[in-house]
């Protein structure tokens, strides 16, 4: 079965303004899909709608089937019976990595305790088995000195370490779909490359599908395969990322590619001097 089917997804705010219009795409198991677009293009809202987690007042219509269960069917309310049904599916299948690792981690919980929460809940681990699993999760994201990091509060870690902890938490229960919403935007460029490599290899190792959201074409090119370009809430162009870069059709895609190439050219110009 297709892991995620989104069709005719439309998101409106309280006043009825259309924020995302008739967006459709699918994610097969193990596939890597990119959603690329500028800020305000609706890419993050699409991801939240898919997870059934739109902020209050914002409503979605259309369908988003995760493993066959419709996440949008009932009106999305913060506390409702259908919410309960959704969390059952969502928690076991989907996991997310967010843009800002500082707010993605509870400032009052040590890294180890936060990673332990989903492990305890979904894998039923307790005591020393739980501690070992937390250590393994931190190991997996290539953090050294895992004992110290497990006992640290988020503010005691660097940005890169925090994002690694967030990734460890997201992947701890082996989700079948990982939604990464601008996971490297808040990081230094050198750390960005490391985190992208890490995501790339972990997703491959676990066979998870990846929905990668970014505004940055080179970043998308690094991890995503099939990619959708969003502009003002609509998908304006779709295709394998290599084709989008070599032969962009839509005006906006061309601008994106040209902008990325200008940076490259500037770098090369400098190295030639």
**Is the distance from CB of 256 to CB of 216 less than 8 angstroms?**
no
161 binds another protein (CB under 8 A): no
Query: Shortest approach of another protein to residue 246 CB, angstroms?
Result: 35
**Residues whose CB falls within 8 Å of the CB of residue 39, separated by 6 or more in sequence, listed in order:** 215
Under the binding rule (CB under 8 A), the answer on residue 124 touching another protein is no
Q: In the bound complex, what is the minimum distance in angstroms from residue 230's beta carbon to another protein?
A: 20
Return d(Cα 239, Cα 232) in angstroms, integer. Answer: 19
Distance, in Å, from the CA atom of 70 to the CA atom of 90, rounded to the nearest integer, reads 10
User: Does residue 75 interact with another protein by CB under 8 A?
Assistant: no
Q: Are strands 177-181 and 209-214 parallel, antiparallel or unpaired?
A: parallel
| CA-derived radius of gyration, the chain | 19
Host H or E run for residue 69: strand 69-70
Three-class SS string for 211-242?
EEEECCHHHHHHHCCEEEEEECCEEEEEEEHH
State which of positions 164-203 bind another protein (CB under 8 A): 166, 169-170, 173
Residue number with CB closer to another protein (182 or 237)? 182
Q: Which two tokens stand for residue 159?
A: 């940005």
Q: Is 153 in the site for another protein (CB under 8 A)?
A: yes
Asked if 147 interacts with another protein (CB under 8 A), we say no
Q: How many residues bind another protein (CB under 8 A)?
A: 40
Contact string (CB under 8 A) for another protein, positions 7-36, x = contact:
-------x----------------------
Where does this chain touch another protein (CB under 8 A) — which range of 123-131, 150-158, 199-207, 260-268? 150-158
Sheet with strand 226-231: strands edge to edge: 94-97, 177-181, 209-214, 32-36, 226-231, 234-240
* Contact set for another protein, span 87-116 (CB under 8 A): 87-88, 90-92, 94-96, 98-100, 103-109, 114
State which of residues 75, 117, 129, 142 lies at the interface with another protein (CB under 8 A): 117
Site membership for another protein, residue 155 (CB under 8 A): yes
Judged by CB under 8 A, the residue of 118, 160, 233, 248 near another protein is 118
Query: Dihedral through CA 93, CA 219, CA 199, CA 174, nearest 10?
Result: 0
Provide the minimum distance between the beta carbon of 119 and another protein in the complex, in angstroms, as a whole number. 10
What is the smallest separation between the CB atom of 43 and another protein, expressed in angstroms? Answer: 16
Q: Is 141 in the site for another protein (CB under 8 A)?
A: no
Tokens found for residue 114: 């936060």
Q: How far apart are CA 40 and CA 43, in angstroms?
A: 8
Instruction: List residues near another protein by CB under 8 A.
Output: 14, 48, 51, 53, 55-57, 77-79, 87-88, 90-92, 94-96, 98-100, 103-109, 114, 117-118, 121-122, 151, 153, 155, 166, 169-170, 173
């Amino acid at each position: 079965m297709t892991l995620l089917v989104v069709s005719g997804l439309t998101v409106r705010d309280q006043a009825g303004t259309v924020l995302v219009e008739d967006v459709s795409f699918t994610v097969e198991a193990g596939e890597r899909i990119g959603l690329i677009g500028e800020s305000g293009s609706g890419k993050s809202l699409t991801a939240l709608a898919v997870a059934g987690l739109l902020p209050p007042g914002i409503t979605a219509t259309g369908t988003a089937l995760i493993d066959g269960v419709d996440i949008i069917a009932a009106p999305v309310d913060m506390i409702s019976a259908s919410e309960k049904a959704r969390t059952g599916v969502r928690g076991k299948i989907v996991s997310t990595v967010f843009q800002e690792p500082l707010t993605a981690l509870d400032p009052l919980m040590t890294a180890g305790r936060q990673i332990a929460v989903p492990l305890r809940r979904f894998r039923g681990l307790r005591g020393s088995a739980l501690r070992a699993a937390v250590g393994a999760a931190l190991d997996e994201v290539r953090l050294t000195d895992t004992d110290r990091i497990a006992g640290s509060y988020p503010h005691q870690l660097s940005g890169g370490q925090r994002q690694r902890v967030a990734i460890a938490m997201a992947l701890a229960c082996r989700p079948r779909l990982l939604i990464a919403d601008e996971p490297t935007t808040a990081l230094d460029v050198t750390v960005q490359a490391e985190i992208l490599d890490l995501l790339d290899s972990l997703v491959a190792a676990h066979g998870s599908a990846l929905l990668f959201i970014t505004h940055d074409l080179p970043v998308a090119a690094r991890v995503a395969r099939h990619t959708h370009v969003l502009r003002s809430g609509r998908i304006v162009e779709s295709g394998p990322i290599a084709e989008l870069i070599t032969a962009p059709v839509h005006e906006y895609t061309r601008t994106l590619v040209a902008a990325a190439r200008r940076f490259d050219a500037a770098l090369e110009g400098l190295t030639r001097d």
